[in-house]
Amino acid sequence: MDSIVVTGGAELRGSIPIAGAKNACLTLMPATLLTEEPLTLMNAPRLSDITTMTTLLQSLGSEIQSLQDGRVIAMSSLGPVSTHADYDIVRKMRASNLVLGPLLAREGHAVVSLPGGCAIGARPMDIHITALEALGAQIELRDGYLHAKAPGGLKGARVPLRFASVGATENTLMAATLAKGTTVIENAAREPEIVDLAACLVRMGAHIDGAGTSTITIEGVDRLGGATHPVVPDRIELGTYMLAPAICGGEVECLGGRRDLVSAFCDKLDEAGIEVTETGRGLTVARKNGRVSAIDVRTEPFPGFPTDLQAQMMALLCTAEGTSHLEETIFENRFMHAPELLRMGARIDVHGGTATVTGVDRLKGAPVMATDLRASVSLILAGLAAEGETMVSRVYHLDRGYEHVEEKLGAVGARIERVAGR
């Protein structure tokens, strides 16, 4: 099993290209099930999660080609599609549940295993189920599978979400494009990935208004066509690499970065003493003056501070001047990286959903273990600022969401390498 070895102390200078968004691409790929015409995605990230979604869609009958070294994904679901999403594939990744809405809309029935993914909380399917039931679906759980059917077809309806769930918004949005009549999703998620999905569906012929707001209106159509769509830049990869020079010094330009994707995050960086400058090519990041300042962070649905950047921000605050507080409101059990940071000399006290971080002068390199995707990269960031060598094991988590992290950080001066079987 691979490990990442980081030797800290080097300042970073140069540029890092930001890939297409993993969470957007994983949402866009199931949209191929909504049409018999080709759907092509540009600027796709090269990640193991994309491979898993490819395998799932192929198991359902979609034809998928990876072109231009994986940057282009060409898909077609022309022939008959299977309506059974098997546990052996779905268990590997939470986003696999996003085939449920498209299959119901296209075929009127589906059997989809309950999904898996990182162990950062229950993330239940009840919001998805309630939303699709509002459109006329009948869904029951048997033997770990969701058995769904819509005997009379899906019908437009008012769909109030009890929580602004990204996945439930995406599943409902896709299903509603082929439902009869008008669907209004209330308390919809507002993330850029939702806006990107809506833009792609509109290219395919859907009628959607309000994406990016808390109320999305969809007028169902009889059929959708093909399209070519560029995947939005990955705001979580962007935020992660913005933190690298903030943690260990230097100046890095994140190519393709957009401030509108990470506005609340940028506000917190400014508060901590990190300068973010918009350029013609992206965003440049550097410390303003010496050691960063302690800040308080509360994760919230977009446009608030992203939960997927909480672990990385904790790594920064481990060496900040003063005491910081991080409140996690989205997922329970998402401070599993804290004990690993403690092994590196951090001072962190976790009580329920709040972590108190008292900055230290310097972290110390140590062997640590990744517990989930974002925790893995937070340990790499901490290693950049630590004295000595940090070895991060179980980096298969990392490969689910970051492409060639050692190459991207190495190109700007980080002393980092992947070690096989260590």
Confidence of residue 332 (pLDDT cuts 50, 70, 90): confident
Give CA–CA dist 400/395, Å, rounded.
Answer: 9
Q: What is the mean pLDDT of residues 75-88?
A: 94
Within 214-331, strands assigned E span 215-219, 227-230, 250-255, 274-278, 282-287, 296-298, 323-327
Give CA–CA dist 186/409, Å, rounded.
Answer: 41
Q: pTM for the complete prediction?
A: 0.92
Residue-wise pLDDT for 229-258, tens only, equals 999 999 999 999 999 999 999 999 999 999
Q: Which domains does the chain have, with CATH numbers?
A: 3-19+233-419 (3.65.10.10), 22-230 (3.65.10.10)
Confidence of residue 34 (pLDDT cuts 50, 70, 90): very high
What pLDDT is attached to residue 178?
Answer: 98
Confidence of residue 1 (pLDDT cuts 50, 70, 90): confident
Residue-wise pLDDT for 183-198, tens only, equals 999 999 999 999 999 9
Q: Which residues sit in the known binding site for UDP-N-acetyl-alpha-D-glucosamine?
A: 94, 308, 330
* DSSP states along 362-376: --B--EEE--SHHHH
Residue-wise pLDDT for 161-188, tens only, equals 999 999 999 999 999 999 999 999 999 9
Q: What's the length of the chain?
A: 422
Nearest one of 160, 227, 238, 234 to 199, comparing CA atoms: 227
Q: What is the mean pLDDT of residues 363-384?
A: 94
Q: Which among 25, 118, 248, 318 is annotated as catalytic?
A: 118
Q: What is the mean pLDDT of residues 84-113?
A: 93
Q: Provide CB contacts within 8 A for 88, sequence distance 6+.
A: none
What pLDDT is attached to residue 124?
Answer: 65
Residue 394 has pLDDT above 60, yes or no: yes
118 assigned to active site: yes
Burial class (CB in 10 A: 0-12, 13-18, 19+), 114: middle
Q: Provide CB contacts within 8 A for 143, sequence distance 6+.
A: none
Which of 123-158 are b and which e, b meaning 16 or more Cβ less than 10 Å from the residue's Cβ? Answer: bebebbbbbbebbbbebeeeeebbebbbeeebbbbe
R_g of the chain computed on alpha carbons: 21
Residue 122 has pLDDT above 50, yes or no: no
* DSSP states along 16-41: EEPPBPHHHHHHHGGGGGG-SS-EEE
Q: Which residues sit in the known binding site for phosphoenolpyruvate?
A: 22-23
What pLDDT is attached to residue 116?
Answer: 56
- Residue 257 vs residues 15, 261, 288: alpha-carbon distances, Å: 11, 8, 20
> Residues 3, 376: contact at Cβ < 8 Å?
no
What pLDDT is attached to residue 119?
Answer: 40
